[in-house]
Amino acid sequence: MMLPIHCRKPILPLLRRVFRRSERSAPSIFALLTAILFLSGGPPLSAGLLPANLWPNPTLELESNGDGVPDFWNKGGSDTTIDLWTSALWVSPTHSFQLNDTNANAYGEWYSNLLNVDGGAAYQFRYNLRYIVTNVGPMRVSVNFYNSSSTYISGLSYTFSGMQDSWEELTQQFTTPASAAALGLTFTSGGGLEVTGQAWLDDISLALATNAGSLVPYLESFPPLPIPLVIRDWQQTATDYHQLAFNSSITGPFLPLLYQYTANTAAGYSGPAFGLPSYVGNPAGTGEALSVLGATLGGTLAGLNMASLNGVDRVQQCEAFYSVVNGHGLVLNNLNSQGSGSAWYDIFPSALFYQIGSRYPGRATYQTEMRAIADSWLAALPSLSNNWEHTDFNFQTMTTVTGSWIEPDMAAGIAWLEYMAYVQFQDPTYLAAADTCMTQMNTRATDPLYEVLEFFGPLLAARMDAELGRNYSTSKHLNWIFNASSDARPGWGCESGQWGGYDAYGLIGSTTDSSGYAFSMNTYAAAGIIAPVARYQPQYARLLGRWLLHVAANANLFYADTLPTNMQSSAAWVGQTGLDSVSYEGVRNLGVTTPYATGDATAPIQDLNPYGAWGSGWMAALFRTSNVPGILQIDCLASEAFPPAAEPTHLLYNPYAVAQQVIINVGANTNHLYDAVAGIFVATNVTGNASVTIAPDAAVVLVQCPATGAISQAGQKLLVGGVVIDYWNATRDTDGDGLPDWWESRYFGSPTNALPQAVAANGFNNLQCYWLGLDPTNPRSTFKAQAISQPVTGYPQISWNSVGGKTYTVEYANQLGLHTAFTPAVTVTETNVPAGVESMHTFVDNYALTGGPPGAKGRYYRVRWDAP
Indicate the domain borders of the chain.
Answer: 41-212, 234-620, 644-732, 785-867
Q: How far apart are CA 458 and CA 464, in angstroms?
A: 10
In DSSP terms, 826 is beta-bridged to 810
pTM score: 0.85
Identify the pLDDT of residue 161: 73
The pLDDT of 131-140, averaged and rounded, is 81
Distance CA 3, CA 400 (A): 32
Q: How confident is the model at residue 841 (pLDDT cuts 50, 70, 90)?
A: very high
Tell me the three-class secondary structure of 591-605, residue by residue.
CCCCCEEECCCCCCC
Secondary structure class of 492 (helix, strand, coil): strand
Please check the confidence at residue 9 and state whether its pLDDT lies above 60. no
Fold of 644-732: Immunoglobulin-like (2.60.40)
Q: Which of 35-39, 142-146, 209-213, 746-750 has the lowest mean pLDDT?
A: 35-39
Under a CB-based contact definition with an 8 Å cutoff, are residues 142 and 172 in contact?
A: no
pLDDT single digits (tens) 90-128: 999 999 999 999 998 999 999 999 999 999 887 888 888
For residue 103, how far is the Cα from the chain centroid? 46
676 Cβ contact list (under 8 Å, min separation 6): 535, 538, 541, 649, 701, 702, 703, 725, 726, 728, 729
Residue 540 has φ and ψ, to the nearest 5°, of -95, 5
pLDDT of residue 3: 27
Residue 250, C-beta contacts closer than 8 angstroms, at least 6 positions apart:
244, 256
Are 485 and 579 spatial neighbours (Cβ–Cβ below 8 Å)?
no
Contact 268, 259 (CB under 8 A): no
Confidence at residue 21, expressed as pLDDT on a 0 to 100 scale = 30
Q: Who's near 33: CB < 8 A, 6+ residues apart? A: 2, 17, 156, 157, 159, 485, 490, 491, 512
In 3D space, the residue among 413, 424, 420 whose CA is nearest the CA of residue 384 turns out to be 413
Residue 839 has pLDDT above 70, yes or no: yes
Dihedral class, residue 289 (left if φ above 0, else alpha if ψ from -120 to 50, else beta): alpha
User: For residues 244 and 119, what is the distance between their CA atoms, to the nearest angstrom?
Assistant: 55
**DSSP 8-state class, residue 294:** H
CATH topology of domain 41-212: Jelly Rolls (2.60.120)
Per-residue model confidence as pLDDT tens digits over 610-666: 999 999 999 999 999 999 999 999 999 999 999 999 999 999 999 999 999 999 999
HSE (side-chain half, CA atoms, 13 Å) at 719: 19
Identify whether the C-beta of residue 281 lies closer than 8 Å to the C-beta of residue 254: yes
Which CATH architecture describes the domain 234-620?
Alpha/alpha barrel (1.50)
Residue 301 backbone zone (phi > 0: left; psi -120 to 50: alpha; other: beta) = alpha
Q: Is the pLDDT of residue 192 over 70?
A: no
| Cα 508 to Cα 26, 158, 248, 519, distances in angstroms | 19, 18, 32, 6
User: Given a cut of 60, is residue 38 above it in pLDDT?
Assistant: no
Three-state DSSP string of 74-128: EEEECCHHHEEEECCCCCCCCCEEEEEECCCCCCEEEEECCEECCCCCEEEEEEE
The most confident of the ranges 111-125, 483-497, 670-684 is 670-684
Mean residue pLDDT across the chain: 92
Q: In what order do the strands lie in the sheet with 492-494?
A: 492-494, 508-510, 517-519, 586-588, 596-598
Tell me what percent of the residues of the chain surpass a pLDDT of 70: 94
Q: Please give the average per-residue pLDDT across 676-687, as a whole number.
A: 98
Q: What is the pLDDT of residue 5?
A: 27
Q: Are 50 and 208 in contact (CB under 8 A)?
A: no
Q: What is the pLDDT of residue 164?
A: 78
In this predicted structure, which of 210-219, 605-614, 840-849 has the lowest mean pLDDT?
A: 210-219
Give rounded-to-5 percent helix, strand, coil for the chain. Answer: 25, 30, 50
- β-sheet bridge partners, residue 726: 718
Distance CA 232, CA 87 (A): 46
Are residues 550 and 226 in contact, defined by beta-carbon separation less than 8 angstroms? yes
For the chain, report the end-to-end CA distance as a whole number of angstroms: 61
Task: For residue range 524-573, list pLDDT tens digits in order.
Answer: 999 999 999 999 999 999 999 999 999 999 999 999 999 999 999 999 99
- Look at strands 196-208 and 122-135 and give their pairing: antiparallel
Q: What is the pLDDT of residue 212?
A: 66
Answer for the pair 121, 173: CB distance below 8 angstroms, yes or no.
no
The answer to whether the beta carbons of residues 568 and 560 sit under 8 Å apart is yes
CB distance 838 to 780 below 8 Å: no
For the chain, how big is the Rg over CA atoms in Å? 32
For the segment 411-439, the average pLDDT, to the nearest whole number, is 99
- Whether 346 has a pLDDT exceeding 70, the answer reads yes
